Structure 1
């Protein structure tokens, strides 16, 4: 397997596919930049006109019989001047012969068409240069550490959200009792009590709906299971004790995909209402 991956043809295949991915990523970034450029190019003049209309409306409906305050005139005038300068600079950058914009005078639709063609070329090239299944399974195993890092990162995120919600519940619940006991009658602290009660209600409802504790547990469990199978196949222990690497890699890929499918199913069950979860289970 190592000899097959180290052949000149294999290296050429890898370089070609990597170049296709770079072209696709570059086109996606160019589309994002071009959208911002078009939005600024046409949105800035519209915003200038809208702001001038607001300025005129304030003069007509608020200060018709008196002078507009100098502070209002300074604010609107200064912002309008800056926006006009920005609109002029964007116009020069768009239509000048030596434009600093890479895709000046190019529509977003044309870039999206180039992206679609690049993705199609990548698919056709990958299909034509598809390596053997054993090589793909070995590459799949090498990509899994990144998947484990992602699962654990999301698990830590949901665990922190859960802990934050719990501490907010503890503090708010304790504060309600403390404020109620401190003020008798609780008239001066009625606003505080209302805010604390609202906080407790919102956090309780959010924790019951989003279930961050369950999500963190499921993600951590899946990450630990995948890591256990990686360790098993690297050490050659059960269930990966076959003499041929092909059998071990095939069993490994099947097992890990099953674990990931179970994780996605658990996520879908958590996104459903309680009644829907019971029906699915």
Structure 2
């Protein structure tokens, strides 16, 4: 018992010594106050900010380089637009096939069961499905979304090909061609976003925007 008490006391004493050494060792606490005034610290901060701005300006590429990089990223944007177009096209086709199947099922069950029992429950389910699909198609408009996305992707790809081949309207100097290309593609993307916003609005709101 005495040995355990002595061991614990020795451990606590050694830990206390190390704690004091760490507290008063300047190498451990590098963030210790150096005695600078607030105005000096503020000046150091302003100088550091100025150095950061100058370094950022030095590393910023020229407009021509940024436009060339934008042109290299354009094929990825075209692929993204086409993937979204295929997605909405598949959604639209699935909705149309469900409408065809449900409509045909209602006609077949009505002709098969006369009076409608016991097919009345199936008729109600099919009619409900048709109503839901018709409402979802009119609200989300997957066909229109697919068409707009595909049209934008084709137009951008056409301009990419024209820029690579050096045909109209890209018959100027390289810097002017890149600037014209970036401006044209950005305008197309803005128009695409506007069309998406119009599709998200109610029908009455679309008429007012148009």
Whether 1:184 and 2:114 are equivalent positions in the alignment is yes
Question: What does 1:178-217 correspond to in 2, within 5 Å?
Answer: 178-217=108-147
Give the Cα separation in 2 of the matches to 1:181 and 1:157: 36
Highest relative contact order (Cα 8 Å, sep 6+), 1 or 2?
A: 2
Deviation at 1:127, TM superposition (A): 5.7
Give the Cα separation in 2 of the matches to 1:127 and 1:267: 37
In the alignment, which residue of structure 2 is the partner of 1:165? 95
Give the Cα separation in 2 of the matches to 1:279 and 1:127: 45
Q: Number of residues paired by the alignment?
A: 158
In the alignment, which residue of structure 2 is the partner of 1:154? 84
In the alignment, which residue of structure 1 is the partner of 2:36? none
Whether 1:245 and 2:174 are equivalent positions in the alignment is yes
* CA spacing shift, 1:140–1:207, aligned 2, 3 Å: same
Question: What does 1:66-145 correspond to in 2, within 5 Å?
Answer: 129-145=59-75
Deviation at 1:128, TM superposition (A): 5.2
In the alignment, which residue of structure 2 is the partner of 1:220? 150
Range with greater deviation from structure 2 (126-135 or 246-255): 126-135
In the alignment, which residue of structure 1 is the partner of 2:191? 262
In the alignment, which residue of structure 2 is the partner of 1:272? 201
In the alignment, which residue of structure 2 is the partner of 1:73? none
Gaps of 5+ in 1: 1-122
Question: TM-score if structure 2 supplies the norm length?
Answer: 0.73
Deviation at 1:130, TM superposition (A): 1.1
Gaps of 5+ in 2: 1-51
In the alignment, which residue of structure 1 is the partner of 2:13? none
SS at 2:154 equivalent = helix
SS at 1:159 equivalent = helix
SS at 2:167 equivalent = coil
Cα-to-partner distance string for 1:153-211 (whole Å, 9 max, x where unaligned): 00000000000000000000010010011001111011100110000000000000000
In the alignment, which residue of structure 1 is the partner of 2:14? none
Deviation at 1:132, TM superposition (A): 0.2
Question: TM-score if structure 1 supplies the norm length?
Answer: 0.55
Give the Cα separation in 1 of the matches to 2:106 and 2:56: 62
Over the aligned positions, Cα root-mean-square deviation in angstroms equals 1.4
* CA spacing shift, 1:126–1:152, aligned 2, 3 Å: farther
